[in-house]
Amino acid sequence: MVKLSDRYYSGREVQRKLGITEPALRNLVSQKKLRKIKPPGRQYGVYLKEEVDTYAEKWFAFLTTQEPPKTTFEIAKPEDMDAVYELSTRALGQTMSAETRRIWLSKNPESCYIVKHGEKIVAFFHLLPLKHETMMNFLDGKIRGWDITAEDVETFEPGKPLECLLIIVSEQDVDETTRMHYVRVLIRGIMKRMKELGRNGVIITKLYATSQTPTGIAMSLHAGMKEFGERLGKRLKFVMDVETSQSFLLDSYKEGLAEWKKQNKTRQKKQPTHQQ
């Protein structure tokens, strides 16, 4: 028999897929952009998957058409680290040097991503896998970012569980609409890149971040991260358990990882067994 979940999304699933709040979902229904269907005997309404998926595709297509043509998402190169350092200094003050970031890249060339508007770097994202002890020492304030060496950085390898530190910075010397556009391009690029990591069998178990700015704290909470541990003055610590998190930001990564696990399981079944 066909299950209800095969054809319909719950309201919570629609919110996660579109990255919207419950009031925003109600607005879409009242504007007749999505239909809410209440099956007989059910207390809560559901939404036809086909309609939701079509709306999501149109929405992302709209966002794409609104992008300035010179705004691009790229994997960062060592020579980009000077501009990354300058952007980080303007936004955060004292921070890791360009050379420290190049050292991280020398160990893991896929641990930093940038958004460029023309030739100018306007946002960046470190997805830095660290050894557990180093991660805890950094989060607890025992070491600072500039103390993290190449030996502390892990590489992305199939089947290897990793904990990653997130560092996100965007250009502050622009209006709010432009800045949010840069962040949107960055996040969309990261989601696509995370799916590729999942398809390659990279297992990310936890994501960590710290922030003491209102914007950074709000962004961490909006992404679905949870505050944990003691605060270090105004500095808050955040964690996201990838396996249990319902954040829509991880949907593409989980899809990619599921594909890898399925293919890996198929390969294992095809391997010949040796009888004794």
pLDDT, tens digit (0-9, with 9 covering 90-100), for 1-17: 457 778 889 999 999 88
pLDDT for 64 equals: 61
pLDDT for 1 equals: 45
- Model confidence at 24: pLDDT above 80: yes
Report the mean per-residue pLDDT for the chain: 89
Q: For residue 50, what are its two tokens?
A: 């086909």
Residue 222 class from Cβ within 10 Å (0-12 exposed, 13-18 middle, 19+ buried)? exposed
Report the C-alpha dihedral over residues 169, 170, 176, 177, rounded to 10 degrees.
-130
> pTM, whole model, 2 decimals?
0.71
- Could you confirm whether domain 71-266 is CATH 1.20.1250.20? no
Tokens 């790229």 correspond to 74
How far apart (Å, rounded) are the C-alpha atoms in residues 159 and 121?
A: 33
- Model confidence at 152: pLDDT above 80: yes
How far apart (Å, rounded) are the C-alpha atoms in residues 38 and 96?
A: 54
How far apart (Å, rounded) are the C-alpha atoms in residues 185 and 70?
A: 12
How far apart (Å, rounded) are the C-alpha atoms in residues 102 and 34?
A: 47
Q: Where are the beta strands (DSSP E) in the chain?
A: 8-10, 46-48, 71-75, 112-117, 120-130, 161-170, 203-211, 226-227, 236-241
For β-strands 46-48 and 8-10, DSSP reports them as: antiparallel
- Could you confirm whether domain 4-65 is CATH 1.20.120.430? no
Please, are residues 17 and 246 in contact by the beta-carbon 8 Å criterion?
Answer: no
pLDDT for 69 equals: 53
pLDDT, tens digit (0-9, with 9 covering 90-100), for 236-271: 999 999 999 988 889 999 999 999 999 988 777 776
235: three-class secondary structure by DSSP? strand
pLDDT for 65 equals: 61
At 276, is the pLDDT very low, low, confident or very high (cuts 50, 70, 90)? very low
- Model confidence at 190: pLDDT above 50: yes
- Model confidence at 131: pLDDT above 50: yes
pLDDT for 68 equals: 52
Q: For residue 225, what are its two tokens?
A: 């991260």
pLDDT for 231 equals: 87
Tokens 């398809």 correspond to 199
Q: Where are the domains of the chain?
A: 4-65, 71-266
pLDDT, tens digit (0-9, with 9 covering 90-100), for 69-118: 578 999 999 999 999 999 999 888 889 999 999 999 999 999 999 999 98
pLDDT for 222 equals: 80
- Which amino acid, residue 146? W
How far apart (Å, rounded) are the C-alpha atoms in residues 145 and 167?
A: 10
Q: 232: how many CB neighbours lie within 10 A of its CB?
A: 13
Mean pLDDT, residues 200-214 taken together: 92
Residue 44 makes CB contacts below 8 A (sequence gap 6+) with: 10, 11, 38
